[in-house]
Structure 1
Amino acid sequence: MDTLNYLLGVDSTSTLEAAEENGDSSFTAEQLQVLAALDMARQRIETLDTHPDFSSMQWAEWLLQRSDGFILAHRLRALATGEEPIAPDTSTLAGCLSGLITDLYAGLVLPVSGPFGMSPAHNLAGAYYRHPLRETFEDLVMQDRDLKRIFPRNEEHTGQMGYTTRSTGQGGTIQLTMFAQEIIGAGIKLARFEQSALSPEQVAQDALRCLELIRSALRGEDVRVPVRVGLTGVLLPDARTEMDFGWARLRRADSSDAHLWAATSLDEAGSLTTTTEQGETVEISYRGDLILEFDAPYKMVLGERDISEAWPAEMMAVWDRFTEISESLRLGLLLADPDHRTLVVTTWQSVLDPISHSNGLGWADAKTVPNLMARQLTADDVDQWLTWSKAIDEHRIPTIGVAIRRMLMAVAERRNPEDVLVDAVVVWENLFGAKSETTLRIASSLALLLSSEEATATERLANQSTYKRLYALRSGVVHGAPNADLKKLQQGADDAVKISMAALREIFSEQVDLLTIKTSEDRSLHLIHRGDKRSRS
């Protein structure tokens, strides 16, 4: 629809939908001529027996063909609108890139065709390679003191090329002949990420932003790239369209976001329905009803990487931040209302990498999550979710990462009560475990952490005994104790999950001072030595 909007000079899909209802009377005579030409092209392309995956490339070839120095798409748009494209100053990188985008725009906004994972610029193919401004752009890149560093080698068959490793988890060879195409693809992706109205001018503006982002990364400056993530499991209340966490924004997904998961199976993913105790029906989409937006650090290292070596840890910055934010949100929702154990899970994720030939999209099947239930949040639920997620992201330290992950796994991923029990107790070990007297140290620490200030010594000892019993049950599972009682395991797993959530709630609210202590052993000693005298923040 974006290509048709552009060629006819209409500004929205709704205009075309209204025209379909009203018939030819909605179009000018000139627009009808353009539609007739497009219909003839459709019939011709259909006779080619082209595989559906490559139909957009056929359309791009037709729209971007040149005759007497003019591009057909420009002629069609000029016929429909009376507007001619303004030629930019192609003596500069910015002008040259803008010129390429203006000329190739009609093919650029076609649905992406070909193998899954290709960028929007993949449709351009031959039209891009044959464009006279491509070589001009390449010459200007090699005159740029920053950008030319990407392409230090001149190979006989590929021309100027080089190697990069990026913090998006991507890397490998990069060819100068494809550089503008990759920047253009990143430009349209950025425009869509930011929900901008598409136009050649907007895509050019965002492509230039991507070019500057690359320059800054090459200089070693602090650079961030946008990440978008689909989430399912909960619905926001009618009065709330978004949540602002400070370091991330969560908003409702709508029909304009379909491009984010284009070419995947998510459109046919289906939905999950739950009936509440009040008899109300709540339906969530397995595709995702919410979209998480945040920025992540972007770094680039030049030069060939030894593929026999592990991927550099510092080159996973984007996904490290994604993991942190995802964990903080998911755990925040759990701790906000531990009785309901509400889950929110990732359905897809996409990152902007300005020099990647892929679209940076990955997705998962939410149907495989064993304990997922649809839930309609209230205004109070949203406020509590915000509060807990912010507290977790602010106070979490690397050494309790295992506790956070195992808590989420116990509630969201495990089907077997043995696995739930083990994961839940690992949370205790990560928080308060020690090399010696492990059971005593963990049970004592939990009793001191979770017993009320008014609790008697007898009550604390009773709680401590409960924790010891559950720890022993877990040890039996781990060490293969025979004839395990299933009912005891199920009850023990449930109790252990409740205790783990209570411990994390206490640590991330009333006793955040414990998170200034880096090791579980020191944390346990601190609690035991402090005894009943709590230092609350």
Structure 2
Amino acid sequence: MTDARLEAARQAFADPFVGYVLNTDPSGLDDSDLTQPQSAALGLLAQFAQSVLATPEGFERDYRRAMILGPLPQLGKTGVATTLREWCGGTFPSTDSADAVEALLLECVRNSYPALLLPEPDEKFRHFRYLNLSSVILQLDAGKQLVQAIRRDDGLGRLFPDSPAADGSPYEAGNSMLTWESGSGFSFQLALMPETMVRYTLLLAGINGEISLEACMRYAKDTLSVSRALARQERADLPLLVGLSNIELSEDIGSIDTPFGELRPMTPAARSYLGSGMSGREPGALLIGKASQRILSIDKWDPDQEATPEDREADWEKRRPAAEAAQKKVKSLIDRIRYSIMLASEDESILAPIDEVTTQITPLDQSTSSAIAHGGMAPFPPVAITHELAARIRLWARRVSENHPASLDIGMRRLISAATLRIDPMDGFIDAVMCWENLFGEAQETAFKVCASLATLLEPADHDKRKDMFAQLKRLYDIRSRLVHGSSEPDLRTAYAHRDLALKVALGARRAAYAMPGLLNARDATARYKLVLLGFPS
């Protein structure tokens, strides 16, 4: 059908949103014969659309577009989009629950769900969809009631030690300071908690690619359970999102399950939320892992009693060990999945995933924070993950999870650095040779022990090949030694050749180590080279 109202609504809100509101298949909007209620709903939708389209692209348009999620007094107490869908005969999952907080949270999520169907926000305001729901939710009766239900809740109420359980304005009291094990600390407001919990729910659904109201209602119940556990200062596993560039997962690959989390194609919601790192590269894969977290302290917030710099420093020193341990766990998880992907490389192309941006999301965070890795060029080109490579990644992730010893962590990090961080090929070459040393190096006669052990490990059955490899490795090792002691660098073409060969040897040796009984469990490099060269038991 040709309908100016429909065209305006589609331009302002996109087909999925319009189809949801009109309770019809979005793919068949052009051919739909509207019922009287649908026509009336479309008329109101078109009025909103004209207001949206009258503003320039960017923040103001995104803001006006989001207002359709809020209520209009003349239409009722629910959001406009939800009300119009009800007019059109649309149904919703039940929000009934004996738990008052759960029932109200489900109703707020039901009203906010259409946010996932709106067009992607302007890149400059990529968090807009998730951050600016508070102006909508607190207009809803359910949102106002949820604030009071949280205040009275035995679990969630612990988050606000200055807030009495009595009813009152959501802006009366209800402020606290949360100090987290990760080292972060921020103020927390009761009035914004409904928006925080709804945002977390929608984000989980969007990132997991489950864009349905039923999925959002399911995630809402999980959100409440985790929020209560955190409020009790219990440890909880929270989603860790890592945007990886330099590898690309297509939709037909699906997810790659690993002990470190799921590798998935980037969903529109994840791309919108995470953005890109300092490099400007768009991540081509998303790692969804878990990292445990807990709240160390919940304190009253008093803006008139700001801590002195000395007090803050003393407090940080007390929290530093826990914070550093938590950060180290996250870094280790990311390193191990990147290392596993590298080990899955095929000879013709090195998989070199770069962690562009990392964030851990929580239902009790009223801001968004991302740790951006680094900028600069990628030393190796991007690689599309095939089904065969996906199977290899699963295999190596399992092997690394089960068998990787802490004594080889230095070499693992040098290997990752050589392939993803070092723009200068000679820096990458030096890092790769350090990975050799981590396997077989010792204080004395290092060159012979390292090169002989590598040659024996990689060519155990062919004497001539082993002899040639030893000579080649010894030459590379000597070049590395001269470089670090001030020798002139080779031309660029030779430098790249040295780096690539050193990397392939390091990867091959690490793979071969998993096939040699006892090698990975040896206590140090000395025990490893004696096992390889002399057959001494570990």
Instruction: Give the structure-1-normalised TM-score.
Output: 0.77
Distance apart, 1:384 and its partner CA = 3.3
> Helix, strand or coil for the counterpart of 1:516?
coil
2:393 maps to what in 1? 385
Matches within 5 A, 1:124-135: 124-135=133-144
TM-score (norm 2): 0.77
- Taking the TM superposition and a 5 Å limit, the aligned residue runs for 1:259-270 are 259-262=269-272
- Residue 278 of structure 1 corresponds to none
Report the alpha carbon displacement of residue 427 of structure 1 after superposing the two structures with TM.
0.6
- Alignment equivalent of 2:47, drawn from 27, 32, 40: 40
What residue in structure 1 maps to residue 341 of structure 2?
330
* Cα pair distance change 1:19/1:318, threshold 3 Å: farther
Please point out which of 400, 418, 421 is paired with 2:426: 418
CA contact (8 A) 1:167 1:318 kept: no
User: What is the CA RMSD across the aligned residues, in angstroms?
Assistant: 4.1
| Pairwise CA distance, 1:391 | 1.4
Deviation larger for 316-325 or 459-468: 459-468
The verdict on how the C-alpha distance between 1:148 and 1:320 changes in structure 2, with shifts beyond 3 A counting, is: farther
1:528 corresponds in structure 2 to: 530
Q: Deviations over 1:459-484 (max 9, x none)?
A: 87775555444333212222322475
* 8 Å contact from structure 2 (residues 66, 115) kept in 1: yes
The CA deviation at 1:181 is 1.0
Distance in structure 1 (CA, Å) of the matches to 2:386 and 2:90 = 51
Name the residue aligned to 1:514.
Answer: 519
Select 1:294's aligned residue among 281, 289, 314. 289
Q: Which residue does the alignment assign to 1:479?
A: 485
Q: Which one is further off, 203-212 or 109-118?
A: 109-118
User: Where does residue 308 of structure 2 map in the other structure?
Assistant: none
Q: Report the AA paired with residue 18 of structure 1.
A: G
Q: Could you tell me whether the CA contact under 8 Å between 2:241 and 2:360 is conserved in 1?
A: yes
The Cα shift of 1:372 comes to 0.8
Determine the structure 2 residue equivalent to 1:184.
Answer: 198
Equivalent residue for 2:229? 216
**Cα distance in 2, alignment partners of residues 105 and 150 from structure 1:** 26
Residues 229/265 of structure 1: CA separation in 2 closer, same or farther (3 Å cut):
closer
Answer yes or no: is 1:70 the counterpart of 2:77.
yes
Alignment partner, residue 325 of structure 2: 314
Q: How far does residue 231 in structure 1 lie from its aligned partner after superposition?
A: 4.6
Aligned twin of 1:31 = 38
Q: Determine whether 1:245 maps to 2:258.
A: yes
Give aligned-pair identity as a percent: 20
Residues 465 and 384 from structure 1, CA distance in 2 versus in 1: closer, same or farther, beyond 3 angstroms? same
Cα separation, 2, equivalents of 1:99 and 1:341: 49
Unmatched segments (≥5 aa) in structure 1? 271-285
What is aligned with 1:273?
A: none
Instruction: Report the AA paired with residue 37 of structure 2.
Output: E
The reply on whether 1:504 has 2:510 as its aligned counterpart is: yes
**Are residues 183 and 302 of structure 1, via their aligned partners in 2, closer, same or farther at CA, if it must alter by over 3 Å?**
same
Q: Does 1:161 align with 2:156?
A: no
Amino acid at match of 1:4: V
CA distance in 1, matches of 2:486, 2:510: 29
The partner residue of 1:151 within 148, 157, 160 is 160
Q: Distance in 1 between matches of 2:537 and 2:50?
A: 77
CA contact (8 A) 2:244 2:284 kept: yes
Cα distance in 1 between the residues matched to 2:189 and 2:490: 61
